[in-house]
Amino acid sequence: MAQRRRIRRTTIDPVAALSDSDRLAMFELMDRYYRGMSRVQFDADLAAKDHLIRMFDQDDLLCGFSTIQRLWLDYEGRRLLVVFSGDTVIDRDCWGQKALQAGFTRYLVRTWLERPFRPLYWFLISKGFKTYLLMRHNFASWPNHREELPAEVRAVLDHAAQAKYPQLYDPERGLIVAPRGEDAQAVKAPYLELSEEELSNPEIRYFVARNPEHHLGDELCCLAKVRLRELLWIGLKYGLWHPLRRLLGLGPKRKAAPETAEAPAPASETS
């Protein structure tokens, strides 16, 4: 059975600081589980981002990353900062280790402290349920199965999606609709199947209902308002509670990767 990789360190870096070998390692990780990947398009998307979170294993090899862009939007006379999560990949053997959550929380705290008295939002698009749950498990976020979108949230979400994807955003469905065809970027078939256990989760069922063609690359647009109380709670959860549970052997049991599977697998557009 394949040995589990452990995430040993997490960094937050400006995209401009990446070397050519850094960019190649990131592309190769994406290409292992997304079909329709293009190096030219990947580099263009990366160039539009400001920062990224990277995770490295015990051998200092890349085992995951998430790209970040800051969007400034005007809404009802206010200047809003929206943190946009782009491509996110986590090696299958590193699932469940919470390093990305901890790293992204650090980034949000740092960003919030730069302007603590002005609105801060997190804008996420997801073609996979793991990315959707990353936001839902940590913030009051929309859309969700419990309530309708508040008017302000809908307005900011529409504004952000139109600004980022003016040609692809469908405001009626709240989706970024991927171009169809063999070259469309989407999760590879082996990683699309949902188990009965996963579908018993109402959050996952809701995601599938809202984004029924996620397997074709469509992405659900999601928004969370970032507030100090959530940041404090998440900081305690990932900085103290989860490490303590892991130290005591109380953490969730992670499923072993199949012996025949390749090491990387999708966490989703942002897992």
Which pLDDT score, from 0 to 100, does residue 270 have?
A: 38
Is 270 domain-assigned? no
52-87, pLDDT tens digit by residue? 999 999 999 999 999 999 999 998 888 999 999 998
Q: How many residues does the chain have?
A: 271
Using a 10 angstrom Cβ sphere, with 0-12 exposed, 13-18 middle and 19 or more buried, the burial of residue 98 is: middle
Which pLDDT score, from 0 to 100, does residue 242 have?
A: 61
Half-sphere exposure in the Cβ direction for 31 (13 Å, CA): 13
Which has more confidence, 130 or 30? 30
Is 218 domain-assigned? yes
Question: Rounded to whole angstroms, how far apart are CA atoms 73 and 92?
Answer: 36
DSSP 98: -
Considering the chain, what percentage of its residues have pLDDT values greater than 90?
60
Is 1 domain-assigned? no
195-228, pLDDT tens digit by residue? 889 999 999 999 999 999 998 989 999 999 999 8
DSSP 189: G
Number of domains in the chain: 1
Residue pair 25/39 in contact by the 8 Å Cβ criterion: no
| Residue 98 pLDDT grade (very low, low, confident, very high; cuts 50, 70, 90) | confident
Using a 10 angstrom Cβ sphere, with 0-12 exposed, 13-18 middle and 19 or more buried, the burial of residue 135 is: buried
Provide the residue type at 108 as one letter.
L
Note down the domain range covering 228: 7-265
As given in the structure block, the two tokens for residue 241 are 């509670």
Instruction: Identify the residue whose tokens are 């991927």.
Output: 178
pTM of the model: 0.84
What 3-state class would DSSP assign to 251?
A: coil
Question: Rounded to whole angstroms, how far apart are CA atoms 214 and 129?
Answer: 9
Phi, psi at 80, each rounded to 5°: -105, 140
CATH code (residue 144): 3.40.630.30
